Amino acid sequence: MSESGITPIKNVSQQELGGMTPKQFVDLLRDNCSKPGRGMANHPFVTGLEAGTVTLPQLRLFTEQFYLHIRNMLPWIGEIYVKCPHEDVRTVLVKQLAEECLGTITNTKAHPELLLEFGGAIGMDIEATRKKEQLPQSRKVTEYFEFMSGCRPWFVPLSAIGIGLESFVPDTFTRVVAALKKNYGIKDDKLVFYTMHILADQDHGDEGIEMVSKYAVTPEARKQVYDCTVVTSELYFDLWNLYTTVGKA
């Protein structure tokens, strides 16, 4: 590990990335995004919930800043829709946006609203939370999606979401749900944000491979996906790590 605690990114050339099969490429990327200091896989916040050492003020700050990020990044999904030249992919994006903004497919609610309902169960003031501002570690992730959506090909931010984040959700959120029930006494009806994502994100590992095999085919495209997905996972780690900035037990 480096001095900053992050395992240095495996240095693979653009040509090597271009020569890999889609599965080899996605496996390498997932491996890089699972290292300490990246993404949500085995994040200290998760192990802390499992140990019961994350305090309520910490859980509330995490929920507030995670909520603000997932709410504020939705317009950038819309930007990917505008940029994507493939009708079939755009159709999928519209469905995903409808689900994120309305809960249309799972017959639930807007995903940010579901997270706020969880916030209510841990004593947060829901209306006050809507008006909060993002702290730098949260804002940076949101703004990185703005950057990727505006300055990189449309499949780059989608790969960052699908490969770097969502493919880790089923395992991570399963652990989070178990820990929140066992150590914090949260009831099922307040955990819908987490439980619905466990099901919704189950297939995203395979979808990532499919997207890379169809669209990220040139060495240059592979390199853009590789670099941006790793950076996204590092910024995401920092967002989840915000809980350490407030009161410990």
Q: List contacts with Fe ion (CB under 5 A).
A: 111
CB of 238 to Fe ion, least distance (A): 20
- The residue number whose beta carbon is nearest to Fe ion equals 111
Angle, to 10 degrees, between the axis of helix 136-151 and the axis of helix 74-83?
10
CB of 166 to Fe ion, least distance (A): 9
- Which residue lies nearer to Fe ion by CB, 101 or 122? 101
Which of 25/144 has CB closer to Fe ion? Answer: 144
CB of 112 to Fe ion, least distance (A): 8
Name which of 85, 121, 80 is nearest 97 in CA terms. 80
Residue 111 vs 140, nearer CB to Fe ion: 111
Convert 78-109 to b/e letters by CB count within 10 Å (16 or more is b). ebbbeebeeeebbeebeebbebbbebeeeebb
Cα of 241 vs its chain's centroid, Å: 13
Q: How far is CA 99 from CA 92, 105, 106, 197, 203, in A?
A: 11, 6, 7, 11, 16
Return the number of the residue (35 or 197) whose C-beta is nearest Fe ion.
Answer: 197
The least distance separating Fe ion from the CB of residue 29, rounded to whole angstroms, comes to 21
35 secondary structure, DSSP code: S
Minimum Å gap between C-beta 187 and Fe ion is 21
Distance of CA 205 to the CA centre of its chain: 13
Rounded distance between C-alpha atoms, residue 80 and residue 216, angstroms: 15
> Is 201 or 234 the residue whose CB approaches Fe ion more closely?
201
